[in-house]
């Protein structure tokens, strides 16, 4: 493997430090060592370190005079226990022994020193600078640790040059999963990215969308809340406050007090604390001092089971603590193992050896007798499984599956490939790594509880992977609130169904609720905008869905249609019967006085107009829209022209012939009736053709008239010609009315003024009613109203003009004689002479 220039440069700088990072007059060695065929290094935080200002370049001293980190001590013992367990096994690495070199890495410099130490070859005190480390053999073949993501970045970067397997038990930063940067890094604890996903699901579970976040001042806390900030924004979860817990001065730091007060000022009820246990201890000490109660605290895995935190006096008053912990895999044997080894002089000397003089006697080893807590037991299993992963990889590399191991020379990069492939069961738990070197494990969801002053916790659920989901049972769980109800943490109350959000301020979670107007709906994927319904859909106010509009037209099966169709058919039968009746009595005075053969033209026009009404029923088509109004207009024009001609002809005979004989002669000579009917009909025909060519009526769906319906009807474009067509017939009706009124005193047999006037009044009334209806109503039954008005017009003309004549023919035959007609004319002549 070739090194890049930057890698070589860093190695040149670090290599000289190796000889300086050791106690005076001592050979570079680990704090605790056991020989074996193959050596494994371990990095653990067992002591605190001195914060004194350095006067010369040296490694930070892991000061035994401060305190011993019991958690690190338990993990250190877990590694010893795992190695002894493997060496005593007959199936794993038979005839091969593992040894270890364990370093106390309480500071960054101590961590760097330990890393350089394990990279040195056996019997040497330095790391050779080579261009290819393929055949380079350090004193150890693998590394277990370190505990911190900060330290892991250093070790992972250095060990990547050698491709030495490094399996961390507590470093959770997600960046360590980048194989392009840290190719030899693996871990037995899930990454923070997975932890963040579990926290987000937990927030969604209870609809907590107004939260605060605080993190420890290290890579673990900063990266954790940074990742959480990025993810919660995608789920409409707003962060009202975000802060970093200051490390300096511990709980007495005034900056920490100000941070807690600022957090409380946001009035959030849920706070995510993504921190290591030391920072969490400082933070909650101030929370207790500020008398904070009835809040929800979401604990990251780094402190959720920390005894240092729950031992803070009066912490049971802060509210409800819900946290994540590694899946319930504990190394219960470690307590028994420690009991057997705690008084070992060799152990105590090793643990206490990292003082400035290196040979001082340990004075605080009694603290090691404390029993491991739940957090220690779970983390110990991570160390235990990491050592076994190395053992299984070495087992496969040495060909131990055949029964005996080969004990060949092992290079770290060879072992790395085998460790990546391990898959074994350890205490009913499956141990293997994904492509990023992460374990495929989830988390337990725990809830703290107090019985009096005694602390314990319940496992209330789990976070399961592939697919990622929560399994939680909240039944019977105690929320530390007045009414034992799940606390609410939201900036604004949820809007009711069909109300959109209008953001108030800078946070999307703070909003007013506004009802979606009719014709729009609220799509749950976008709570801030009302979406318009499609054209063929509708929605009432405050709707979350759109409904399909019903397309309405005057169907054949509609009850109103059936009534109208019956009336139309009846009128057609009457018209047909009248036509037959007039044909049989064509030579009688009544038929002649009605116009003779002209009656058949009128009856035919009325029949055509009646037939056009069938075009108003059923779904509108291009043909029905095109035909119905022109047929009716032309038919009505012919009928009215005939009535006007017949009325004018009678008036001329009885009133104008004697006064203006020339006028009457010209009327008769030039076939005035036919000319007038033809000219009148031609004028209407031209208007109809122009109207059809410029603005033809077409089937159209009206979406504006009704919210819930689509009115399917024939629509004429805005034009003067349809109006002119109707107005022409109105003027023709007025003309007929005037002429008929002039003949009001004609002989009884020829006096049709009353009947025609009545029918024309019906026609004009129907026209006015149609105009008013069109102005005030647009809907499904507009077509029915139009049919009714036209039917009234046709029935009025038929009833006013033909019914009286048919009545005489059928029921008063004595009036339908030449004698009676002559008698009426003579009576009219004598009356005019006397006047």
Task: Indicate which CATH number applies to the domain containing 811.
Answer: 1.20.1070.10
524 and 415 inside one domain: no
Query: What's the confidence (pLDDT) of residue 22?
Result: 36
Q: What are the residues facing 144 on neighbouring strands?
A: 42, 167
Judged against a pLDDT cut of 80, whether residue 332 lies above it is answered with no
Query: What's the confidence (pLDDT) of residue 397?
Result: 94
Judged against a pLDDT cut of 70, whether residue 49 lies above it is answered with no
3-state helix, strand, coil in the chain (%, to 5): 50, 15, 35
Supply the mean pLDDT for the chain. Answer: 82
533 and 593 inside one domain: no
Average pLDDT over residues 505-527: 88
Query: What's the confidence (pLDDT) of residue 390?
Result: 96
Query: What's the confidence (pLDDT) of residue 346?
Result: 46
Judged against a pLDDT cut of 50, whether residue 189 lies above it is answered with yes
User: Dihedral angle at the C-alpha atoms of 116, 122, 127, 132, nearest 10 degrees?
Assistant: -120
Query: Percent of the chain beyond pLDDT 70?
Result: 83
* Whole-angstrom distance, CA of residue 45 vs CA of residue 384: 16
Distances in whole angstroms, Cα of residue 533 to Cα of each of 12, 286, 502: 70, 54, 20
533 and 566 inside one domain: no
Query: What's the confidence (pLDDT) of residue 79?
Result: 95
Q: Has residue 262 been placed in a domain?
A: no
Query: What's the confidence (pLDDT) of residue 566?
Result: 93
Q: How confident is the model at residue 754 (pLDDT cuts 50, 70, 90)?
A: low
Q: Has residue 650 been placed in a domain?
A: yes
519 and 624 inside one domain: no
Judged against a pLDDT cut of 50, whether residue 216 lies above it is answered with yes
Three-state DSSP class for residue 138: coil
Judged against a pLDDT cut of 70, whether residue 549 lies above it is answered with yes
414 and 505 inside one domain: no
Range of the domain at 721: 559-834
* Whole-angstrom distance, CA of residue 136 vs CA of residue 412: 9
Burial of 499-528, coded b for 16+ CB within 10 Å and e otherwise, reads: bbbeeeeeebbbbeeebbeebbbbeeeebe
pLDDT-wise least confident of 188-202, 251-265, 751-765 = 751-765
Query: What's the confidence (pLDDT) of residue 277?
Result: 86
Q: How confident is the model at residue 66 (pLDDT cuts 50, 70, 90)?
A: low
Q: Has residue 229 been placed in a domain?
A: no
532 and 654 inside one domain: no
512 and 614 inside one domain: no
543 and 584 inside one domain: no
The tens digit of pLDDT for each residue in 586-632 reads 888 888 877 788 889 999 999 999 999 999 898 888 888 888 888 88
Interacting residues of 707 by C-beta distance below 8 A, sequence separation 6+: 518, 519, 538
529 and 595 inside one domain: no
Query: Percent of the chain beyond pLDDT 90?
Result: 32
Q: How confident is the model at residue 362 (pLDDT cuts 50, 70, 90)?
A: very low
Judged against a pLDDT cut of 50, whether residue 381 lies above it is answered with yes
Judged against a pLDDT cut of 80, whether residue 9 lies above it is answered with no
Burial of 73-102, coded b for 16+ CB within 10 Å and e otherwise, reads: bbbbbbbbbbbebbbeeeebbeebebbbbb
CATH of residue 166: 3.40.50.2300
Q: Are the C-beta atoms of residues 82 and 99 closer than 8 Å to each other?
A: no
DSSP per position, 693-733:
HHS--EEEEE-SS-SSEEEEEEEPPS-HHHHHHHHHHHHHH
Average pLDDT over residues 813-826: 71
Average pLDDT over residues 203-229: 91
658 and 516 inside one domain: no
Q: Are the C-beta atoms of residues 546 and 533 closer than 8 Å to each other?
A: yes
Q: Are the C-beta atoms of residues 149 and 142 closer than 8 Å to each other?
A: no
Q: Has residue 339 been placed in a domain?
A: no
779 and 749 inside one domain: yes
Query: What's the confidence (pLDDT) of residue 824?
Result: 64
The tens digit of pLDDT for each residue in 705-722 reads 788 888 888 877 666 777
Q: How many residues does the chain have?
A: 835
The tens digit of pLDDT for each residue in 402-456 reads 878 898 899 999 999 999 999 999 988 889 999 999 998 888 999 998 877 778 8
Q: Has residue 457 been placed in a domain?
A: no
Query: What's the confidence (pLDDT) of residue 272?
Result: 96
Judged against a pLDDT cut of 80, whether residue 650 lies above it is answered with no
Query: What's the confidence (pLDDT) of residue 661?
Result: 64
Q: Has residue 806 been placed in a domain?
A: yes
57 and 134 inside one domain: yes
Q: Has residue 198 been placed in a domain?
A: no
Q: Has residue 269 been placed in a domain?
A: no
pLDDT-wise least confident of 102-116, 638-652, 803-817 = 638-652
- Number of structural domains (the chain) is 3
């Amino acid at each position: 493997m070739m090194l890049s220039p930057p890698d070589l440069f860093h190695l040149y700088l670090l290599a000289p430090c190796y000889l300086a990072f050791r106690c005076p007059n001592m050979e570079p060695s680990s704090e605790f060592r056991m020989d074996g065929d193959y050596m494994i290094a371990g990095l653990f935080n067992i002591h605190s370190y001195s914060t004194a200002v350095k006067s010369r370049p040296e490694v930070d001293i892991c000061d035994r005079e401060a305190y011993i980190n019991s958690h690190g001590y338990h993990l250190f013992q877990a590694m010893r226990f795992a190695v002894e367990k493997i060496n005593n096994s007959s199936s794993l690495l038979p005839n091969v022994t593992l040894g270890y070199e364990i370093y106390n890495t309480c500071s960054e410099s101590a961590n760097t020193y330990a890393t350089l130490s394990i990279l040195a070859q056996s019997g040497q005190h330095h790391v050779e600078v080579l261009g290819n480390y393929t055949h380079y053999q350090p004193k150890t073949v693998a590394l277990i640790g370190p505990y911190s993501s900060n330290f892991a970045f250093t070790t992972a970067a250095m060990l990547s040059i050698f491709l030495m397997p490094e399996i961390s038990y507590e470093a959770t930063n997600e960046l360590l999963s980048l194989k392009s940067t840290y190719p030899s890094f693996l871990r037995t604890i899930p990454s923070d990215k997975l932890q963040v996903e579990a926290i987000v699901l937990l927030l969604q579970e209870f609809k907590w969308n107004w939260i605060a976040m605080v993190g420890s001042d290290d890579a673990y806390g900063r990266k954790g809340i940074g990742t959480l900030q990025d993810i919660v924004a995608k789920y409409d979860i707003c962060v009202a406050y975000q802060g970093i817990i200051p490390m300096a001065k511990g709980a007495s730091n005034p900056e920490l007090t100000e941070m807690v007060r600022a957090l409380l000022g946001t009035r959030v009820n849920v706070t995510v604390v993504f921190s290591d246990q030391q920072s969490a201890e400082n933070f909650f000490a101030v929370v207790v001092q500020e008398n904070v109660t009835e809040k929800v605290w979401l604990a990251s895995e780094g402190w959720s089971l920390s005894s240092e935190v729950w031992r803070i006096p009066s912490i049971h008053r802060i509210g409800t603590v819900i946290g994540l912990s590694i899946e319930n895999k504990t190394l219960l044997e470690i307590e028994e193992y420690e009991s057997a080894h705690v008084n070992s002089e060799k152990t105590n000397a090793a643990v206490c050896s990292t003082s400035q003089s290196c040979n001082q006697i340990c004075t605080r080893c009694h603290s090691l007798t404390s029993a491991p807590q739940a957090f220690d037991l779970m983390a110990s299993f991570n160390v235990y499984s990491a050592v076994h992963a190395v053992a299984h990889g070495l087992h496969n590399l040495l060909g131990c599956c055949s029964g005996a191991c080969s004990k060949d020379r092992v290079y770290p990069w060879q072992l790395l490939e085998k460790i990546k492939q391990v898959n074994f069961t350890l205490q009913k738990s499956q141990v293997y790594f994904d492509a990023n070197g992460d374990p495929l494990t989830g988390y337990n969801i725990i809830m703290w509880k107090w019985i009096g002053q005694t602390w314990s916790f319940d496992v209330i659920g789990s976070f399961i992977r592939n697919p990622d989901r929560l399994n939680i049972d909240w039944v019977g769980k105690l929320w530390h609130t007045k009414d034992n109800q799940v606390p609410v943490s939201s900036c604004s109350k949820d809007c009711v169904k069909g109300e959109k959000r209008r953001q108030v301020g800078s946070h999307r979670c703070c909003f007013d609720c506004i009802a979606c107007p009719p014709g729009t709906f609220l799509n749950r994927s976008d709570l801030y905008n009302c979406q318009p319904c499609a054209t063929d859909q509708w929605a009432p106010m405050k709707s979350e869905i759109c409904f399909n509009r019903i397309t309405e037209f005057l169907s054949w099966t509609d009850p109103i249609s059936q009534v109208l169709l019956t009336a139309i058919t009846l009128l057609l039968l009457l018209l047909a019967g009248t036509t037959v009746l007039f044909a049989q009595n064509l030579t009688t005075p009544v038929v002649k006085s009605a116009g003779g053969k002209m009656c058949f033209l009128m009856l035919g026009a009325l029949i055509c107009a009646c037939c056009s009404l069938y075009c108003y029923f059923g779904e509108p088509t291009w043909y029905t829209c095109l035909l119905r109004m022109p047929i009716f207009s032309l038919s009505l024009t012919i009928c009215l022209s005939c009535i006007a001609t017949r009325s004018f002809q009678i008036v001329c005979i009885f009133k104008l012939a004697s006064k203006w004989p020339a006028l009457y002669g010209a009327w008769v000579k030039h076939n005035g009736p036919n000319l007038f009917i033809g000219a009148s009909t031609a004028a209407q025909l031209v208007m109809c053709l122009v109207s059809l060519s410029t603005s033809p009526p077409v089937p159209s769906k009206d979406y504006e008239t009704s919210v819930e319906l689509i009115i399917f009807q024939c629509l004429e474009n805005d034009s003067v010609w349809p109006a002119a067509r109707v107005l022409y017939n109105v003027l023709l009706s007025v003309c007929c009315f005037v002429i008929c009124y002039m003949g009001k005193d004609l002989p009884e047999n020829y006096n049709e003024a009353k009947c025609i006037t009545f029918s024309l009044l019906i026609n004009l009334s129907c026209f006015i009613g149609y105009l008013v209806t069109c102005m005030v109503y647009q809907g499904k039954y507009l077509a029915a109203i139009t049919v009714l008005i036209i039917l009234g017009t046709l029935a009025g003309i038929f009833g006013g003009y033909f019914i009286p004549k048919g009545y005489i023919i059928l029921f008063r035959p004595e009036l339908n004689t030449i004698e009676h007609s002559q008698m009426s004319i003579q009576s009219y002549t004598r009356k005019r002479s006397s006047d």
